[in-house]
Amino acid sequence: MLAKRIIPCLDIKDGRTVKGVNFVDLRDAGDPVELAEIYSREGADELVFLDISATEQKRKTLADLVFRVAEKVNIPFTVGGGISSVEDVDVLLQNGADKVSINSSAVKNPQLINDLVAKFGSQCIVVAIDAKQIEGKWVVHLVGGKVPTELDLFAWAKEVEKRGAGEILFTSMDNDGTKDGFANAALARLSTELNIPIIASGGAGNMQHFTDTFIKGKADAALAASVFHFKEIKIKDLKEELQENKIPVRI
């Protein structure tokens, strides 16, 4: 079995790392370059860097910040926020990103997934999907969770896979920042119905939640922010606990 991955997420707004609850009420969590360096040193498997205001404000992810973060880390590094073209991705990869994450732009122009895969390969194209339950259905949302669509999470995920994306980063907006655990039922369905890796996001509050999402949610990787940013969980301790629970991780 492939090793499960632990991925700290750095949500960036105005050059600072921030964290909120259910996508709102953001508070400062530190300097992204410093945090990235710490996580790389402490044993994170990958990092995700999302400029959460880039799409909303119709501007591009700050390539110079990407460059500075990439200079400090020696682990794979995904960048997202405001990416809408092959040219955007080219700039980010040239500045040190290993992968890119697209979200709103993929929904608005699904052909973008095909174009990016054709140019850069599936391995570096991650499609992020933010969804929340509305009347029992998982509804995809855009622009940092502000705009609901008519897309069903599972149907959209299947289309994303068909178009060649290498991974899906699924964030449950209902669970985000609550620290009540990941949306494991939805994750397990995604993992069962798709053949590409699924990254769980939204809801991590303690080490048991990570164990649960790997076992019950069948996730390939688990992404979290506040529990790492505010030093509630140390990556080394988390990996040791996962290992004790017979979950394969890189120590």
Task: Please list the active-site residues.
Answer: 11, 130
d(CA 80, CA 101): 4
Residue 213 φ/ψ region, left for φ over 0, alpha for ψ in the -120 to 50 degree band, beta for the rest: alpha
Q: Which of 60, 80, 167 is nearest to 117 (CA)?
A: 167
Expressed in percent and rounded to 5, the helix, strand and coil fractions of the chain are: 35, 30, 35
Residue with tokens 């700050």: 62
d(CA 105, CA 89): 12
The residues near 128 (Cβ < 8 Å, ≥ 6 apart) are 50, 80, 101, 102, 103, 168, 169, 170, 171
